[in-house]
Structure 1
Amino acid sequence: MSHFLGEFECKLDAKGRLMLPAGLRKQMPDVEREGLVINRGFEKHLVIYTRKEWDTIVADLSKLNQYEKKTREFIRYFTRGATELSVDAAGRVLLPKSLMEYGEISADVVLASQFNKIEVWAKDAYDSQLDNEPDNFANLAEEVMGAGRRADV
């Protein structure tokens, strides 16, 4: 499984193409051959997965009980808008208009690495979210990572 590292500010060109930063492309040496998948995130942002990672997610989804209504709804909403991205010779990908509208993305974006995926945010939305950092980040860390979690960090 790939774990990406870095945060990158980028600009889309007039056609909605995103130049993948060299620092990210180095972390995805097979991206031109394997491709990428972009999808809606849980908040108002987009998420890019390697094709291999997306296939793993879809395999997990296919194991869920589709006779349950909530499961069907989740799968439907989670996969809505999922689109394959091809990287051109210049290292660019064309973001689908419908997903750009969902993420309220225009020209300025931030690519934020999150383990096995890359979040794509409108720059102002990303900045706004980070401006809402909890008053006591240490308390949040304890709540999320404490009690019964790893002690070697």
Structure 2
Amino acid sequence: MSQLIGEYVCKLDTKGRLLVPSDLVQQLPGVKDDGLIALCGFEKQLNIYPKAEWDKKVKKLSKLSEYDEKSRTFLRLLTRGATPLKLDGAGRVLFPKQLLEYAGITNEMTLTCLFTRIEAWNTTTYNKMMNETPTNMADLAQQLSHIIEGGDDE
């Protein structure tokens, strides 16, 4: 899969359905057949994966030991609320109420693409985070440069 790009501010209808932007659907081959997986994120946002990407993640995560308490706890937290989402004929997905409540999303959300996943945020929370983050991007880049410039994995 190629990298997902874009940021979208979207309205939910009264039933909690999101009309997935057509530009985003075009970046998600197979999404109409395979759907998406949505789950709680680390920072009160939702993580949304194309089904094929989620399957890759599950394959890696399944290597964690079920006998290790930290692994079990991590997996429970990570997969909290995991729900398959299917696009209907109009290109909408219905989010479960508990996921929307977790992220504080009521009638509007911001979708932001991060390579192979999409984050769904309460728009106000997202804008506040992005505008008030005191971290200097140049400092972050310098701290992470060993990873960013560390080698070509292709």
**RMSD of the TM alignment (CA)?**
1.5
For residue 130 of structure 2, give the secondary structure of its aligned residue in structure 1.
Answer: helix
The answer for the alignment partner of 1:100 in structure 2 is 100
Gaps of 5+ in 2: none
Deviation digits for residues 12-48 of structure 1 (CA, Å, limit 9, x no counterpart): 0000000000110110131111111101111100011
Aligned length: 151
The match for 2:27 is: 27
The answer for the alignment partner of 1:127 in structure 2 is 127
Partners of 1:121 and 1:14 in 2: how far apart?
Answer: 18
Following TM superposition, by how much is the alpha carbon of 1:129 offset from its aligned partner in structure 2, in angstroms?
0.6
Residues 134, 140 of structure 1: 8 Å contact kept = no
One-letter amino acid matched to 2:88 = D
Cα distance, 1:132 vs structure 2: 2.0
Query: Any idea what the Cα deviations from partners look like across 1:58-108, whole Å, max 9, x if unmatched?
Result: 111111112110000000111111000010010000011011111011111
CA distance in structure 1 between the aligned counterparts of 2:118 and 2:55, rounded to whole angstroms: 16
1:3 is displaced (CA, Å) by 1.6
Q: Which amino acid aligns with 2:28?
A: M
Deviations 1:101-150 (A, max 9, x none): 11011111100000100000000010011012335321121112x24641
TM-score, normalization: structure 1? 0.93
